[in-house]
Structure 1
Amino acid sequence: MARKFDTAGGLLHDLLDRFEGGTVRPIGYPDHDAFASVTASDAFVRSIAEAERTGGVERVYGKGRRHVELKHVRLADAALLYRHLGRTPARQAAIGIGETMLDGLTLHPKLREAALTAIDAWSRNRTWATLGIDDAASMRTAIVLAQAIVDGSHRGLDYRTFSRRTVANSKALEKLEAAVLRLITGVVDVPPSSGARAAFAALGLERFGPPLLLSGAFLLDRQPVPPSLPYLGIPPTAMMRIGFDKPPAYALTIENFASFNRHVLEADPERVGLTLFVGGYPSLATQRALAELGSILPESVPFFHWSDIDPDGTWIFRTIERALGRPLHPHLMSRELAEKFGEVSAGISKLRRSETSLSLISDLVNYFIEPGSKVMEQEQIDPKIPGWPITD
């Protein structure tokens, strides 16, 4: 759609805006129907003519009966138009503001690189994570928060306490969480497509995490949990209070709450295994609880994980695998199931082959790198007790 203007300044600045955005010779149109009077129209034409005399723009008139009517204005020389308008080029302004924004900050190299991408976006008159060049002060705050997360200063804190301690503004992270998440993505391992809250919780930025749900024949404070309870919720920090009269046949972590309930009630009503609901992206407290569980149970107890068959599911799998520090087997997670029941994925996996070459989820990760790979939600599959040895 043609850009129309009833002020010369608006048209001329728009030409430079689009030039900074990558259009080589942008065009702007006068909005003849919007002029308040003939006087306003004449003033518009005079202003454009002055810009043309400096060499910054070129006027193009109509043909035939409209030969005296200004048709459109084309950018001729950006440097001359900048000078005529007294405007600083976006690239020059962005570099100057960017230097001030980063002054005095000691940053992780990849975090600095991410910050430079924001400056580059500003140099093209674009925003970065909704922040524009006028938001440089907020961007500096986001960078400071991001570096604090990279340093691990966030662990065990809630949003507001972390923000207050880091930048003396308790609401800063709430306002800048999208920018902070984008900044740290290239530095630390974050969930590939989660919201900021879930991602930060997985990194440990939460003070009061969700309970960890367990189902099975286990002890709490050396007392048997009544078999009439399908599951029990405990704070993740209380995992050391869990014990066993005899090891479970298996340990299974599940991402989805509906699938957890179905497994507990339908697949394993006798509680022969230990089943845990990890609440989607496992929080850092949950990860530590799983590490504790991995040290409690003997090596003879196999560990399994059941997630959606998608890149997020593989990320959750890898997170739990790293937390356990022992082999973890995918349960009802395979390329064969994806091909049979799934739909073509619109996204891409953020895990690379080199990161999972020694993991039992590597085949699925490699599958998601392939074009035409499919994804599916775990609710599409009926629950069943994991086989040992592993069976399809």
Structure 2
Amino acid sequence: MTMEASLLEQLLASAERAQGRGSRYVARIRLKGDPGYAGLGFDAREALHAQMRIAERRGAVTLTWSRFGGEDRRLDAVVLADIEALASVLGRRSLSGAVRVASDAFAPWVERVPALASVLAAWKAAKRVRGHGPEKHADFVDAARVVAHMQSRIEDAVVRAVSIDLFGDSKRIEEIVPLLDALTAESIAAAASHWEDVLANLGLRKAPSPFLLAGRGRVHLIESGWRDLAYEYLAVSPTQVDGFEGMIEWVLLVENLTTFDLCAKARPDREGGLVLYTAGMPSPSWRRACEAVLSGLGEHIPVYHWGDIDVGGFRIAASVARAIYPRTLRPWLMDSRSLRDIARTSPASLTERRKMARSAGRAGWPVLAEHLASPASVLLEQEAVPVCFPAVALPS
């Protein structure tokens, strides 16, 4: 980029920042005393002056010249005259112009995806969203299409199949996950979520995932009626679950499939329990199925969650806690202090400790969160811990 183009870009950026703040500041670039400008040779300086005069004739800037130097006088400052004209000189839209184009593109989607309005507000304030400005509005439109499409579904879907249906490209949805995150998070300024969490919250999966139940009781399916739980477990479509009944003493939600399988083999039915597999981060259809199951149980029945003792495990726990609210979710085998002698652990970094503690707090576990934030906090995979049900003492 030439020096003259760089100066005009700096001037436009300064003007757009002021515009975003609602400031009346008149943007200017001071060249008097600037070492880069002072060091230009005669020909280079004349070329810069020529380009600045063109910008001035087009109404983009006003030039302030030195009173001394005769025909070889120096340029003291370049002052903004018209932001739209300056953007035109640079061959692109101004920020306000780009936001207007984005607003028009968002119009068909903003009612169903309200976060788009927040994206526009951020852009008007000269802020970027997930690293993108209004020049990337088409990518946000694609993300809004995905969000709106999944809002209309009650079943989970395979992400690449949906991507082909919507865009003719099996990987398009995976390319715009950060934008999907922005449009579905509590706010567009929220910390980025893990890509699996973003997709799961929308009901998008890498592969279909059934709703798995093991233990005592029977589940009601919309099309098939009542079905007794079978040994080792029963697998059904989550969209078919609309009721449950049984003499249950506790419910255990399990994050990982390997551990769920071991739990099922350990006969939770004989311990008065019900074990559900969350399939990692729970999807909307899983949350609806879980709600249907829990609605058939008394509010006094405790609900436990067992997952990995790591950032992802506690993030999933926080999501599960939100899914079953106003019931209380209790941690099960999620405190490494009681497991150090029976399973191998690894140290947790400061960043990991902070993230785990934050998620544990969101799950409603403040005491555990305090421990997770401490230097004594460690990481532990769920599969390394022997199966133990809530009605039984911890393994020794």
TM over 0.5: yes
Task: State the secondary structure of the residue aligned to 2:241.
Answer: helix
Equivalents in 2 of 1:222, 1:157: separation in Å? Answer: 23
One-letter amino acid of the counterpart of residue 98, structure 2: I
Partners of 1:350 and 1:96 in 2: CA distance: 43
Cα displacement (A) at 1:281: 0.5
Indicate how the Cα distance of structure 1 residues 335 and 55 shifts in structure 2: closer, same or farther if over 3 A, else same: farther
Match of 1:236 among 223, 235, 238: 238
Unaligned runs of 5+ in 2: 18-28, 54-74, 220-224
Deviation at 1:174, TM superposition (A): 5.6
| Cα distance in structure 2, aligned partners of 1:388 and 1:270 | 11
* Counterparts of residues 159-174 of structure 1 (less than 5 Å): 173=173
1:136 to 1:46, Cα distance in 2 relative to 1, 3 A:
farther
Cα distance in 2 for partners of 1:153, 1:133 equals 27
Displacement of 1:372: 8.6
State how 1:1-392 maps to structure 2 within 5 Å. 9-10=1-2, 12-13=4-5, 20=13, 46-47=43-44, 49-51=46-48, 79=79, 87-88=89-90, 93-103=94-104, 105=107, 106=110, 111-118=116-123, 128-129=129-130, 131=132, 133-142=134-143, 148=148, 152-153=151-152, 156=155, 158=157, 173=173, 176-187=176-187, 193-195=193-195, 198-204=197-203, 209-219=208-218, 224-227=228-231, 230-240=232-242, 243-244=245-246, 247-265=247-265, 272-324=272-324, 325-334=326-335, 336=337, 341=345, 342-347=347-352, 348-349=354-355, 356=362, 360-365=364-369, 375-387=379-391
Q: Distance in 1 between matches of 2:365 and 2:355?
A: 13
Alpha carbons of structure 1 residues 192 and 236: separation in structure 2 relative to 1, 3 Å = farther
- TM-score, scaled to structure 2: 0.61
TM-score normalised over the length of structure 1 = 0.61
Residue pair 1:257, 1:279 contacting (<8 A) in 2 also:
yes
Change (3 A) 1:333 1:157: closer
Q: Is 1:218–1:242's contact at 8 Å kept on the other side of the alignment?
A: yes
Runs of 4+ with >6 A deviation? 21-28, 53-56, 82-86, 159-165, 350-355, 369-372, 388-392
CA–CA distance in 2 between the matches of 1:14 and 1:386? 66
Aligned residues: 334
Q: CA 1:143 to 1:117, structure 2 compared with 1: closer, same or farther past 3 Å?
A: farther
| Cα deviation code 1:41-93 (max 9, x no counterpart) | xxx9834542167789xxxxxxxxxxxxxxxxxx985658x999974498x81
Partners in 1 of 2:349 and 2:338 — Cα distance?
13
Pick closer, same or farther for the CA change 1:109–1:270 going to 2, 3 Å. closer
CA deviation digits over 1:217-264, x for unaligned, max 9? 44466565554xx333221133347654xx244221111223223334
Q: State the identity as a percent.
A: 21
The farther-off stretch of 332-341 and 319-328 is: 332-341
Paired residue type of 2:211 = L
Q: Which runs of 5+ in 1 are unaligned?
A: 1-8, 29-43, 57-74
Secondary structure in 2 matching 1:326: coil
CA 1:389–1:139 in 2, change beyond 3 Å: closer, same or farther? same
Distance 1:253 1:24 in 2: 64
What secondary structure does 2:351 align onto? coil
SS at match of 2:305: strand
